Structure 1
Amino acid sequence: MTDLVRAPGPVVMGVLNVTPDSFSDGGRYADLDAAVGHGVRLREAGAHLVDIGGESTRPGAERIDAVTEAERVLPVIRELTAAGVPVSIDTSRARVAEAALGAGAAVVNDVSGGLADPDMARVVRDAGCPWVLMHWRGHSRKMRDLASYTDVVTDVRDELGQRIDEALAAGVPADRIVVDPGLGFAKTAVHNWELSARLPELLDLGYPLLFGASRKSYLGRLLAGADGAPRPTAGREAATVATSVLAVAAGAWGVRVHDVRATVDALAVWAATGSPRLVPARAGGGPPT
């Protein structure tokens, strides 16, 4: 998987939530057969990785215990890896990550960036697997209260830098680290747009960057109807594709999306037109409010 982390082309990570309460697809893939079938379809649509999560991290969500989380994800990981589908485990618990890696997962996607469980660095180091360090300030139930920044891009970059330093100090090789700005996690819509507009500043950290805007609420608010009601999740796919292509054009290593085929198709168009790159935006460049 080191080659995937250092891949020159954009990596597409397909989302597979085996939860009853995720914000977009909660309950759709709680059944093992449904989850495995969807994971196979994501791979066939072009996903390089299928990211399996057993605990909802939507704003306000309550935590579940580690046993329940593991019981949700491990059978799916075993079935998909047996079918030749590369998978990552979306968890902030070292115990769950270790079991998932033992079941065949190849990447740990940690929304807490190692903060939620100090043993995660050991698990990743010993496994020798890639580790996605997402910017995070606290668990879902209180994340809204933590969305305060002096300058969101500078603060996120500095805090991610701390997570990187701690991972390296724990013995995790630099070529196993990917960063994620954590759109929507202790971020307002304005924060999300600012991070998107100034993505190259985060790339200055020198690590591959994963961008995950798929179907998130700030897109729904951007696309609100005349009555002010946010666009439902099912109507946010075109906006998701647009954000994903723009992120890749700004230098993102990969994108995490629900609708893999539409994203893969759009990135094929981007590549066929010469993989044009965006000019970095200036600070305060006027993202939507």
Structure 2
Amino acid sequence: MSGPSPTSDGPGRLNDAARARYARDGFLSPLPVMSEVEMARRLDWLTDIEARGAGRLPPVQNIKAHLLIPFLWDLVHDPRILDPVEDLLGPDLLCWAAGFFDKRPGEPQHVPWHQDATYWGLSAPEAVTAWVAFTPSVPENGCMRVSPGTHHTILPHADTGDRTAMLPGRETVLAKVDEATAVDVVLRPGQMSLHHVLLVHGSSPNHSGQRRCGLAIRYIPAHLTSRAGWRATATLVRGRDHGHFDLEQRPDAPFDPAATRRYGGIVRSWMRGVFDGMAHAERANGSGGR
């Protein structure tokens, strides 16, 4: 089942009850973004871009895919996504990353139980992930599952060593997750869920004959800073820049040369931050690994 759909105070806005539910549970779903027809058009665009390469985006291009593909840049700026995110994070918003979680039929890829903020290297766990469905996302094809109310505490993680885990650090929470109270986040194409950066969530492999594809957009309030000792980058999507990140640029065309050149340095900086975050977490856990 999916969580209850929140009511709003106007197009795209969250009312007090929805914000209270988010504060209690750590997620909201399903929320409308666009019609299934509109999303089908974007899925066609994505499929066409993938067909020009190896049939899917390589992992390195899937970290901040909106910096390489113009329609994804437009999507992370879409008011239908940003309005409810603003209701949760405030008026000044940055996109820290945006990448697909794409499971093809019968593949073993899965997402272990984890918290998003584990290796992000940000100054505070104040962020929201908007998970936008490009295809149906249902239990049979490995929809996201969440553990409500687990977003109040930073939990230790460890590397699973599992190459089929769809996370940069292959990480999983060390705490036991209550599977009996976990909730399936069922979405139609064009719907999204919002979840807190500390909400424990994961997903199973795709056991169906249907692709499961969604874009995870990571939004942060602009007052946050990077814990790393260098300037990270982010995309200003709404409001005022607070000057803590170097601002990213829109690509002129899919994988245009200028965007691709910029992207190389941006991703190296991002990966450096993730590795720093992994080392920081290991030191905090008093462990060197699994």
Alignment TM-score, normalising by the size of structure 2: 0.29
Whose relative contact order is higher, 1 or 2, with alpha carbons under 8 Å and at least 6 apart? 2
Which structure is higher in helix share? 1
- Structure with the largest fraction of strand: 2
TM-score under structure 1 normalisation?
0.29
